[in-house]
Structure 1
Amino acid sequence: MPTWSDGYVSDIEYLPGFYMDQTPAHLDVACLLRDIEPPVAAGEPFRYCELGCGVGESALAIAASNHRSEVWGFDFNPAHIARGRDLARDGGLRNIHLLEASFEQLAKGEVRDLPAFDYIALHGVWSWVSPASRSHIVNFIDRHLNPGGLVYVTYNALPGWTVAQPLQRLVSTFASLDHGRSDRRVSTAIEMVRRVCDVGAPALQVADVERLEKERDQGNLAYLSHEYLNEHWAPCYHSDVAGDLAAAKLEFVGSANLLENFPDLSLTPQQRALIDDAPLAVRETLRDYFMARTFRRDVFVRGARIIPGRRRAQRLRRQKLMLVIPAAAVTRNIKIPLGEAALSERAYEPAFRALAEGPRSIGELLDLPEAAGSTASPREMIGMLVGSRQAMTVTNENTDAAIAVARAYNTLHLAACADSGRGMTALAAPAVGSAVTVTIYEMLAYEALSSGTPDDPKALTEATWKLLQDRGDRLRHEGETVESEDEARKILHDNMQVIIDIALPLWRRLGAI
């Protein structure tokens, strides 16, 4: 392994991916749920920084969907930065800066002329790097986060990871005995772990071993390598993370998993009563003993500005929401930390019908005649609709300039995804300042539409079939390769009709095309 890696896996690239929870639009909602002012006023440009950005997919999507804002991404792996820069250049993004730099270089100010940021995000970094690197991160935040700015940090959480710690140690130990590439080493290590498990090892959970084997069999060796083989891998208690970040004057806001900010959806009445009686400094850690979270998505603020009580409800009532899934897919039955819950029929059925017609403010939704008598509050409605991933906040206007930037980036990004064989990714969506997930058929349709193919199922079928032929790809449907051309064309035609009827109108409302 290269000596410059400081024990971090660097011989294979980290998996690309878009993570909605780290977008400014989403983090602002986490603030509003806790009655805290977001870093910048709604719709205003911001400065965003991602530390350990990998190939930059989240940073690129944020830049493409917020063209008036400025985005920076840093990673110590030159392969990551080179790949991200290629896509930024080819996609025409001028508001993003991707730089190769270690946390130590950033903390020491070796990267000069950096601005102060409104948001700093770290996904999949904190519990995978050395204590020294975590100290450098805190120093960088202290120097470069604006007053009132937010930090998003994810990490493997204790005590939830306690049971699986022996498994990680065994995988890492077996892998260290091999000197090949990390993906081969982790695969061999999992084979050895299975042998240990089969002869009886009470310290290993069979379900956890099976999960690793499933990931390996699905080809997710890059994920397994980066998750399990880093030398400084160390799950953390929330109180320890909060203590480290306090050196940069940060205080905990809440969870970017929005539904976790509602105690009645996360804890039993007895658990809530016990936490309420506990000292403030240990309450969040105590919640982890009850919720068994293995992964935390924490939001911290540098200087919390509490929204005055008389303005809280009005502030939320003005916030517009937009559906980001097809109207036919909306549901009142949502997953919550405690299991499942059903949203109020009186409040949410009319809200869903109204949102199916177009964006609405929360006040408009609550004031619908059909919702009369509902007890739903503005805070509940934004939390439930955004937290269940059915709606997002409207943050930007769909100007011609914003749509042009998003379309140019999306088109190049989809072509790059096709080259690497990905069957799912995310489209930059300016209206919500974020991105929305698309599947392989939608990816093909978007490429064809953006190149001028009319929104006609026959024309789209021919265009997407030609894309597949030109690339030497064959269609896969329900996990199987489609051998017959006639069958492939029929599957494409059926999917193109659905996309024209459902996905395309949604993309247009989002400003994605």
Structure 2
Amino acid sequence: MSDWTSGYVADISYTYGYYAELNPLRIALGFINAGIRPPNVINACELGFGQGISTNIHAAASQINWYGTDFNPHQAAFAQELSSISGADAKLHDDAFNEFCQRDDLPEFDYIGLHGIWSWISDENRAVIVDFIRRKLKVGGVLYISYNTQPGWAAMVPMRDLLAEHADLMSAQGAGTISRIEDAITFAEQLVAVNPEYCKANPQIKNRLDKIKQDNKNYVAHEYFNRDWEPMAFAKMARWLEPAKMDWACSARYADAIDSIQLTSEQLNLINSIPNPVFRQSVRDFCENRQFRTDYWVKGARRLSTLDQDEMLDGLRVVMGVPRKDVQFKIAGRLGNFDLPSDIYEPLLEVLSAYQPVYISELWQAAKEKGVSRSAMNSAVAILAAKGAILPAQSDESIAQAVSKVGRLNRFLMSQSRSTTELSYLASPVTGGGLAVPLFHQFFLLATLEGADTAKSLATFAWRILASQNKCLLKDGKPIASQDENLAELERQAGNFLNDRLPLYQALKII
């Protein structure tokens, strides 16, 4: 019998994560700040969509036509169910890459996304994907690709290989993947305990193993135990993408572009002295000891003048993504925490605090009235976006067309939260993407949909769910014993929810 998995872990499912970088609406701000004209995304594709949470949130919350594949039939079936429930009509398949990429019913794409999968597949499959990008990504189209990279993974590569070798050679016959993972980690701990020279030279390995031991085992299986696994240097990725005519555009994580919080002045001077853009990124990865890249690549970059940049920025809409009180005038970077000047940020937050979408031109007007320069305002917008304090916002027409699809999807996801803690994101038709919503907030939102409108009624609703499963709350790490104490703690949390979170969720049209 042939191995349809091609060495990829398929007997246990991947996690139910959502990855905001896959949202095409995020491209515009990153591209404009990098001086590149962003595309208008109509058709999009995700290769290796896992459980399909990201794909389905983006399909339901926007007017983009989504396609994709994940060869694990269990995952594809769940993703198809979500698409059917929302009515987004995403075209999701369980084809292997070589099958999907040869389909004759696919359009040309404005956007193709791969999150993480590149690190875990064979060179044969990588070649299939590059050929697909060459043939099916439009001129001006964007590729989002994230992957493990060097030099940040360099010390861990031998230990990862040892873990995989132990799982392959030393486990009991018939042992399942989780059992093999646990046995391999136990052996690695035994190895570290005898203080081998490898660990003396790489003291960070013990902490990495401790983290692996605590991580979700479904994630660990896919991250460390596939047959094919390669943290790839940026220069090698660039060579892979050359036949598809791709140029690196910028990072999909806005904070990566804020040099002052990531690089020392000496590092930045060295990097800026390098004329070759590929080598410049390679050197930057060494300065940051980067182990994971999240990159946008573009097929035919069209450069913007400074005037074009400001005009295109003015035409973007943004919306608050967190409660106003949670926005701190600080930002964290590789070099530490940095204070932000309140006189620049307060005028912007005053406009944003109504939780309604606003054009960046409106923020500029408010900033200008307070004597804030254009460059300072542009920098502040980029930093607020990097912090997640503001999110991209769609047009009113797109929002209106997505509301009903999002409502159906979110209602289903929240109903599932009554029996699982794995679904922790809901869709917003305002942002075209997902938002992390804690478990109890999902319970409270369900209660709101049922007509509850007081802290006590929300708490009672949530307690019925918990009590039916013989569960209780924790306080200071210890279970709360009595029903009255559980209800009191839930009522306290529900009060905070009503005051701080519900207005935001309603403004983002999550319910």
User: TM-score, normalised to structure 2's length?
Assistant: 0.93
- 2:3 pairs with 1:3: yes
Contact 2:417–2:439 (8 Å) recurs in 1? no
- 2:119 pairs with 1:127: yes
Contact 1:457–1:497 (8 Å) recurs in 2? yes
- 2:90 pairs with 1:92: no
CA-to-partner distance for each residue in 1:244-297, whole Å, 9 max, x for gaps? 112111100011121212333322222222222224131111111111111110
Contact 1:396–1:430 (8 Å) recurs in 2? no
Q: Which residue of 1 aligns with 2:380?
A: 381
Q: Secondary structure at the match of 1:48?
A: strand
Q: Which residue of 2 aligns with 1:118?
A: 110
Displacement after TM superposition at 1:95 (Å) = 2.8
Q: Which residue of 1 aligns with 2:14?
A: 14
- 2:157 pairs with 1:165: yes
Q: Secondary structure at the match of 2:36?
A: coil
CA-to-partner distance for each residue in 1:120-171, whole Å, 9 max, x for gaps? 1111111111111111110111121122111111111111111111221121
Q: Which residue of 2 aligns with 1:314?
A: 311
Residues 88 and 335 (structure 1), Cα distance of their counterparts in 2 relative to 1, 3 Å cut: same
Displacement after TM superposition at 1:437 (Å) = 0.7
- 2:70 pairs with 1:75: yes
- 2:291 pairs with 1:294: yes
Contact 1:53–1:75 (8 Å) recurs in 2? yes
Displacement after TM superposition at 1:4 (Å) = 1.2
Count, aligned residues: 502
In structure 2, runs of 5+ residues without a counterpart are none
Q: Which residue of 2 aligns with 1:277?
A: 273
- 2:57 pairs with 1:58: no
CA-to-partner distance for each residue in 1:452-473, whole Å, 9 max, x for gaps? 2232222222222223344554
Structure 2 counterparts to residues 189-268 of structure 1, below 5 A: 189-204=184-199, 205-217=202-214, 220-268=216-264
CA-to-partner distance for each residue in 1:320-354, whole Å, 9 max, x for gaps? 22111111100121112332222222211222232
RMSD, aligned CA: 2.1
* Amino acid across the alignment from 1:232: D
Deviates further, 287-296 or 265-274: 265-274
Residues 497 and 95 (structure 1), Cα distance of their counterparts in 2 relative to 1, 3 Å cut: same
* Amino acid across the alignment from 1:425: S
Displacement after TM superposition at 1:365 (Å) = 2.3
In structure 1, runs of 5+ residues without a counterpart are none
CA-to-partner distance for each residue in 1:474-493, whole Å, 9 max, x for gaps? 44456544331111111111
Q: Secondary structure at the match of 1:122?
A: strand
Displacement after TM superposition at 1:401 (Å) = 4.4
Residues 47 and 234 (structure 1), Cα distance of their counterparts in 2 relative to 1, 3 Å cut: same
Displacement after TM superposition at 1:511 (Å) = 1.5
CA-to-partner distance for each residue in 1:61-107, whole Å, 9 max, x for gaps? 111211x2211221111111012122322x33333121011111133
Q: Which residue of 1 aligns with 2:363?
A: 365
Q: Distance in 1 between matches of 2:470 and 2:110?
A: 45
- 2:148 pairs with 1:156: yes
Residues 303 and 329 (structure 1), Cα distance of their counterparts in 2 relative to 1, 3 Å cut: same
Q: Which residue of 1 aligns with 2:456?
A: 458
Q: Secondary structure at the match of 2:4?
A: helix
Residues 363 and 33 (structure 1), Cα distance of their counterparts in 2 relative to 1, 3 Å cut: same
Displacement after TM superposition at 1:307 (Å) = 2.5
Q: Which residue of 1 aligns with 2:409?
A: 409
Contact 2:456–2:491 (8 Å) recurs in 1? yes
Contact 1:402–1:511 (8 Å) recurs in 2? no
Q: Distance in 2 between matches of 1:365 and 1:497?
A: 32
Contact 1:166–1:203 (8 Å) recurs in 2? no
Q: Distance in 2 between matches of 1:162 and 1:387?
A: 28
Q: Secondary structure at the match of 1:49?
A: strand
Q: Distance in 2 between matches of 1:478 and 1:14?
A: 31
Residues 183 and 309 (structure 1), Cα distance of their counterparts in 2 relative to 1, 3 Å cut: same
- 2:428 pairs with 1:429: yes
Q: Which residue of 1 aligns with 2:419?
A: 419
Q: Which residue of 2 aligns with 1:442?
A: 441
Residues 399 and 430 (structure 1), Cα distance of their counterparts in 2 relative to 1, 3 Å cut: closer
